[in-house]
Amino acid sequence: MTDHEPTLKRYAAPTLISFATQLLQRAGLPLERAAVVGEMLVEADLMGHSTHGLQLLAPYLQQIEGGSMTRQGDPETVADHGAALTWDGRYLPGPWLVVQAMNAAFERIHANPVVTIAIRRSHHIGCLAVYPRLATERGLFMLLVSSDPNEKSVAPYGGIRPLYTPNPLAAGIPTQGDPILIDTSMSATANGVVARHRLEGKRLPHPWLLDHAGNPSDDPDAMFSDPPGSVLPLGGTDLGYKGFALGLLIEAMTSALAGFGRSDRPQQWGASVFLQIIDPEAFGGRAHFLQETQWLAEAARSNPTRPGDPPVRLPGSRGLRLRAEQLRRGVALYPAILPALESWSAKLGVALPASLSDSGS
């Protein structure tokens, strides 16, 4: 079953954002921060990334209640050189921190053609795919990568002991039409995908894991044995040395640049973040940049395929198409998400959202 079967109940996106915002606010986040986090979580569901949308709301609420997610205050400036800025995020809400960093970069991009922001000790930042569109709408080119120095699930290529995280990379490339939106991990799959398959008693579609002895496996339980197994680097048992190299690159771009990482032995869920905004106008000119990226997009889409195969699909095109459809028809929410929030709904006094069919819409 896909995340968006026609039989799934649909919910208006503003209703889901309001629901998430109210829960986060009643749990203790200031309204403005709760609203940003709620919107970014629902944006992930709109784009089809259901393991990193409202699926994360219950664990976020638990982190707020337990004090692991900081509710008040601002990030501390570690270094500021105009075009290069480093924050200590103090485990403030990750989606809010990323949006704040993007806004800071947008303000500085007029004086600096490239603005780079590193954030250490952020809380979890959610789905990376939801952020680049905010930059491409301004005609700006964006890179975003993250890691979690407290977690380890991916083994280095050739090894069998988990060492680092899937380390996703997102990018937003503006064109003359829809942007190219990239979101990919440096691992064969994401931790959230493994956890969901385990919860539902399902095998993974492919042997994306190694068990604790180093044997390829499609059994999610392999990750939770003692000692634990690991997620294969991107490229798997054949080409995983490439994913391993990229995973190390992201470790350097995030924790190493921000000045806080695995060698510091953090004790809680969090993120190290690297964000870069680039103004094409300051290089070869925005007009030529858009001409080139549009040519490349059209050339890729028109590339011949085997008889019966679908056309080439650019990164992000499915998510953008799905987002537009679900804004119009309602979000086909993954069925396990709202049941996981029922106890929080009752505890915090926020009614579960009504589906469009239940509300008569």
Alpha helices in 109-266 (DSSP H): 132-136, 191-199, 236-251, 257-258
Percent of the chain past pLDDT 70, that is, above it, reads: 98
3 state SS for 64-132: HHHCCCCCCCCCEEEEECCCEEEEECCCCCHHHHHHHHHHHHHHHCCCCCEEEEEEEEECCCCCHHHCH
Q: What is the CATH number of domain 1-71+330-361?
A: 1.10.1530.10
pLDDT value of position 8: 84
Domain boundaries, the chain: 1-71+330-361, 73-188+234-283, 198-231
The β-bridge partners of 187 are 233
Tokens of 265: 């032995």
Mapping DSSP to helix (H, G, I), strand (E, B) and coil, where does residue 209 land? strand
Angle between helices 337-348 and 13-27 (to 10 degrees): 50
Which is it for the CA torsion 310, 233, 134, 57, positive or negative? positive
pLDDT, one tens digit per residue, over 303-340 is 999 999 999 999 999 999 999 999 999 999 999 999 99
Tokens of 217: 């496996």
In this prediction, residue 4 has a pLDDT band, given cuts at 50, 70 and 90, of very low
Mapping DSSP to helix (H, G, I), strand (E, B) and coil, where does residue 274 land? strand
CATH architecture of 73-188+234-283: 2-Layer Sandwich (3.30)
| Average pLDDT estimate for 190-209 | 93
Token pair 């079953």 in the structure block, residue: 1
pLDDT value of position 5: 46
* Distance (Å, whole) CA 315 – CA 179: 9
Give all strands (DSSP E) within 9-74, no chain letters.
10-11
Angle between helices 57-66 and 13-27 (to 10 degrees): 10
**Nearest Cα to Cα of residue 214 among 231, 195, 238:** 231
Mapping DSSP to helix (H, G, I), strand (E, B) and coil, where does residue 49 land? coil
The β-bridge partners of 306 are none
Tokens of 270: 């969090």
pLDDT, one tens digit per residue, over 89-107 is 999 999 999 999 999 999 9
Task: Answer whether residue 3 shows pLDDT above 90.
Answer: no
The β-bridge partners of 118 are 86, 274
pLDDT, one tens digit per residue, over 246-279 is 999 999 999 999 999 999 999 999 999 999 999 9
In this prediction, residue 7 has a pLDDT band, given cuts at 50, 70 and 90, of confident
Cβ atoms of 115 and 136 closer than 8 Å: no
| The domains spanning 1-71+330-361 and 73-188+234-283 adopt the same CATH topology | no
Task: Answer whether residue 204 shows pLDDT above 70.
Answer: yes
Give all strands (DSSP E) within the chain, no chain letters.
10-11, 76-80, 84-88, 114-122, 141-147, 169-173, 180-184, 209-210, 216-217, 230-231, 271-278, 331-332
Residue 354 neighbours by CB distance under 10 Å: 15
* Distance (Å, whole) CA 60 – CA 275: 22
Mapping DSSP to helix (H, G, I), strand (E, B) and coil, where does residue 331 land? strand
